[in-house]
């Protein structure tokens, strides 16, 4: 396999098979970190996947060889390869494992006869137990051998040693009594192997359910598309999705899935985007509207111009984000890793001490050995390795179904401690489509003329305020001018040349910096409009001898219907809300009053760098995690400065890249949902770790003191793994709170006070 130059880092993924416990994970990570050029490694037991960040000089062959050296099998995962989407029931390997469990159980059942006072020929016991021990238990010997070869320990080694000791003791007893009936322990070794394999089957079955979110997302991918012929638009042909190119016109009929990201060029319809955005209601689409691949077309035929295909589509990016979050380790996992590093050696030492202690106290060899076997079996650290990743997978999966994309496990875990959410205003708490509510020319200026100048400058910008000015000018008889040499001034406004004149539109801050004289009537009107919650901008002509104000522009916006419900729900969760905006104080305070945000948590007229400083101040004064929610380029510094950045997917790519959590629809209620999911996930992690440790803390002493039979130890060990995974799967029952939020969605929008 060819490799790129070593200057560029790369991320490689390997499917690793043969891992059985947290100790296996530690060993695989250790050998991969030793490969020169590898920067970081994260191995997930639940997904059986290794994610490696390394220089481009590190080849997949080197990584696979390192894993093989540790005693495991690995294969590269191609970047665009979808995860296995076959159900558990349809997997041949999964079915074979179940068949092996049944066969092992059938051979083990007769060995239980002596426990019920029935006699069974010792030679038959030996035959049955040997098939189970060395046939169905062969995987434990293979895994144990690999561990020993790598000078490490794992669950397989513990099971192999424990069951071999019980089997060997039984053989010794049998021959010591001349093949006659004796106190044999064949049933202990056979039952442990059967129970452990059954537990692993149950664990695998449960683990597969945690990947339902990924399988559901992959199921959205159509395999073909109906494309118009570029030379003859009257002809359509069905092609493989991989053959669709950017710019192709794709025809989507009613009831079909939209195959590509694109822009509607013809037709009108409603599209169901629920599995992508979490929005339950179909969204109206007409010419100019954007579509997302994987969504379901409603009643109309539409023609969509392709803007993204393959790995660049929204759906593909969502799948990568969810997979990435599920593959990464949560910070709390570091505790598990530290424990796992010494766990197996410590258990082996405890087993030896148990054996020696019983012998020194005069117990028989079989009693001492059985108690040591029980210690080895009960201590298998499967549950410990599954406690965190299964909860992370379930949490990110349920979040994805609600339209909440969590980029990494750290963001999911950390969000549970959020105590303050700093919201941007425009596009986050408000609709973000402002209208020009007032335009007043300065004394001596003709209104239509200066409105035409303003529109000429704003045609050079994609800002929502600019679009509002252009729309207002288009609805009047304002003359049309052409502008050139446009330049945006960060945090202040935009300027351009209109003919021989240099015209600018910007904030009051910029007016002050330019020392432009504001006529008294306009200054008074500006204060009045700002007090009503409007955003005021100024039209300025830059002249060598001084700058002149030509007009006042006032913009109004509409608060999102669910914004107040979101703020109230956060307050009920003990989370404070702050408002950080570049708008004027009057506009900011008006929105804050409407939403119930305290005046002391309102920060107005903030530049992008100022927003980052405000977030830093909130972090310094708050005992807890501070999150920032925004959608614009100007929010990116604050999103990066916050402990957790929350971006609206309706916003800019820069904001989304800077955030740890992305909301697929612009509903502020999803902020509260994300925190709620994080809190529940963190509780599941804590519960899982508690049970994983409790099983061992209680079971190991019981086994060491002879109070736990090896068979019951095996059952307890298997049950511990299953219970941990099942507990994590309860997260899949999470549902968003109804009530006030639904009322807000159904009701009229909350508008600013006049």
Phi, psi for residue 8 in degrees, rounded to 5: -100, 130
The number of helix segments (H) and strand segments (E) in the chain equals 26, 26
Those residues with Cβ within 8 angstroms of residue 219's Cβ, 6 or more apart along the chain or in another chain? 85
pLDDT of residue 146: 77
pLDDT value for 187: 78
Q: Provide the 3-class DSSP secondary structure of residue 323.
A: helix
Q: Mark residue 499 as left, alpha or beta (left: phi above 0; alpha: psi -120 to 50; beta: remaining).
A: left
Q: Which residues pair with 558 in a beta bridge?
A: 751
Element (DSSP H or E) covering residue 224: strand 224-228
pLDDT of residue 2: 38
What is the end-to-end Cα distance of the chain in Å, rounded?
Answer: 67
The tokens describing 16, both together, are 């690793």
Q: How far apart are CA 495 and CA 504, in angstroms?
A: 4
156-208 per-position pLDDT tens digit: 777 787 788 778 877 877 887 665 555 677 877 787 788 778 767 766 665 56
Confirm if 420 and 624 have CB atoms less than 8 A apart: yes
Among residues 255, 648, 284, the alpha carbon closest in space to that of 430 is found at 648
Closest CA to 535 of 551, 509, 561, 553: 553
Strand pairing of 493-498 and 501-506? Answer: antiparallel
E-strand spans in 594-693? 602-603, 625-630, 644-648, 661-663
pLDDT of the residue at 107: 92
507-565 pLDDT tens trace: 888 888 888 888 988 999 998 888 777 788 899 998 877 788 999 999 887 888 899 99
Does position 491 have pLDDT exceeding 70, yes or no? no
Q: Which helix (H) or strand (E) holds 352?
A: helix 333-360
pLDDT at 333 over 70: no
Rounded CA-CA distance 486/503 in Å is: 9
Q: List phi, psi (to 5°) of 599.
A: -60, -30
Check residue 642 and report its DSSP letter.
S
Asked if residue 11 lies in contact with residue 53, where contact means CB atoms within 8 angstroms, the answer is yes
714 versus 114: which is more confidently predicted? Answer: 114
φ, ψ for residue 540, nearest 5 deg: -125, 140
Q: Is 424 a catalytic residue?
A: yes
| Rounded mean pLDDT, 475-487 | 87
DSSP label at residue 486: E
Q: Is residue 418 classed as helix, strand or coil in its secondary structure? A: strand
Strand-pair partners of 53: 11, 40
Distance of CA 356 to the CA centre of its chain: 49
Lowest-confidence pick of 52-56, 196-200, 295-299: 196-200
Flag whether pLDDT at 750 surpasses 70. Answer: no
CA–CA gap between residue 231 and residue 249 (Å, rounded): 12
- Report the alpha-carbon distance of residue 687 to residue 388 in Å, rounded: 10
Please count the other Cβ atoms lying within 10 Å of the Cβ belonging to residue 175. Answer: 12
Among residues 156, 272, 424, 631, the one annotated as catalytic is 424
């Amino acid at each position: 396999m060819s490799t790129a130059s070593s200057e560029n880092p790369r991320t490689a993924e390997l499917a690793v098979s043969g891992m059985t416990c947290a100790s296996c994970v530690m060993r695989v990570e250790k050998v991969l970190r030793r490969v020169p050029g590898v920067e970081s490694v994260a191995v997930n037991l639940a997904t059986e996947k290794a994610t490696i960040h390394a220089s481009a000089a590190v080849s997949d062959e080197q990584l696979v060889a390192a894993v093989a050296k540790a005693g495991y099998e690995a294969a590269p995962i191609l970047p665009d390869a979808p995860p296995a989407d076959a159900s558990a029931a349809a997997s041949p390997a999964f079915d074979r494992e179940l068949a092996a469990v049944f066969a092992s159980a059938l051979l083990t059942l007769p060995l239980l006869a002596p426990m019920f006072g029935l006699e069974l020929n010792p030679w038959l016991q030996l035959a049955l137990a040997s098939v189970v021990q060395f046939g169905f238990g062969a995987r434990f010997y293979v895994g144990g051998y690999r561990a020993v070869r790598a000078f490490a320990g794992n669950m397989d080694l513990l099971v192999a040693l424990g069951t071999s000791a019980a089997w060997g003791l039984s053989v010794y007893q049998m021959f010591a009594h001349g093949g006659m009936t004796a106190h044999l322990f064949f049933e202990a070794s056979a039952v442990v192997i059967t129970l452990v394999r059954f537990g692993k089957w149950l664990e695998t079955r449960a683990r597969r359910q945690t990947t339902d979110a990924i399988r559901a997302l992959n199921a959205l991918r159509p395999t073909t598309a109906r494309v118009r012929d570029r030379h003859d638009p009257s002809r359509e042909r069905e092609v493989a999705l991989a053959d669709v190119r950017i710019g192709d016109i794709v025809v989507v009929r009613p009831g079909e899935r939209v195959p590509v990201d694109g822009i509607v060029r013809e037709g009108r319809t409603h599209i169901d985007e629920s599995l992508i955005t979490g929005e339950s209601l179909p969204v109206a689409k007409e010419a100019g509207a954007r579509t997302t691949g994987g969504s379901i077309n409603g009643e109309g035929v539409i023609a969509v111009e392709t803007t993204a295909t393959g790995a660049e589509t929204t759906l593909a990016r969502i799948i990568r984000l969810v997979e990435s979050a599920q593959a990464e380790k949560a910070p709390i996992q570091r505790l598990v890793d530290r424990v796992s590093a010494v766990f197996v050696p410590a258990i082996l030492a405890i087993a030896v001490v148990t054996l020696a202690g019983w012998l020194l106290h005069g117990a028989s060899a079989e009693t001492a050995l059985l108690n040591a076997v029980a210690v080895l079996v009960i201590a298998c650290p499967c549950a410990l390795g599954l406690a965190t990743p299964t909860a992370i997978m379930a949490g990110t999966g349920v979040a994805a179904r609600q339209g909440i994309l969590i980029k990494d496990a750290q963001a999911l875990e950390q969000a549970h401690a959020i105590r303050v959410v700093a919201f941007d205003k425009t596009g986050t708490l408000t609709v973000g489509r402002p209208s020009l509510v007032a335009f007043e020319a300065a004394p001596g200026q003709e209104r239509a003329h200066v409105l035409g100048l303003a529109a000429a400058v704003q045609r050079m910008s994609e800002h929502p305020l600019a679009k509002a000015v252009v729309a207002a000018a288009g609805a009047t008889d304002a003359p049309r001018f052409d502008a050139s040499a446009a330049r945006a001034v960060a945090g202040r406004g935009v300027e351009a040349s209109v003919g021989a004149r240099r015209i600018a539109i910007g904030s009051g801050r910029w007016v002050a910096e330019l020392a432009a004289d504001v006529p008294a009537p306009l200054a008074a009107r500006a204060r009045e409009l700002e007090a009503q919650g409007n955003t005021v901008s100024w039209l300025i002509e830059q002249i060598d001898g001084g700058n002149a104000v030509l007009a006042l522009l006032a913009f109004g916006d509409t608060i999102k219907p669910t914004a107040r419900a979101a703020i109230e729900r956060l307050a009920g969760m003990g989370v404070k809300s702050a408002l950080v905006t570049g708008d004027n104080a009057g506009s900011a305070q008006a929105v804050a009053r409407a939403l119930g945000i305290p005046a002391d948590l309102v920060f107005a007229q903030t530049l992008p760098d100022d927003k980052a400083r405000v977030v830093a101040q909130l972090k310094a004064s708050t005992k807890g995690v501070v999150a920032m929610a925004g959608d614009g380029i100007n929010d990116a510094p604050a999103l990066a400065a916050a402990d957790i950045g929350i971006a609206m997917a309706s916003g800019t790519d820069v904001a989304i890249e800077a955030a740890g959590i992305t909301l697929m629809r612009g509903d502020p209620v999803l902020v509260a949902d994300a925190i709620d999911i994080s809190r529940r996930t963190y509780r599941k992690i804590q519960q899982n770790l508690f049970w994983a440790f409790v099983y061992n803390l209680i079971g190991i002493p019981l086994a060491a003191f002879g109070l736990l039979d090896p068979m019951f130890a095996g059952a307890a060990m298997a049950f511990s793994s299953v219970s941990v995974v099942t507990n994590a799967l309860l997260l899949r029952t999470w549902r968003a709170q109804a009530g006030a939020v639904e009322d807000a969605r159904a009701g009229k929008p909350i508008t600013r006070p006049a």
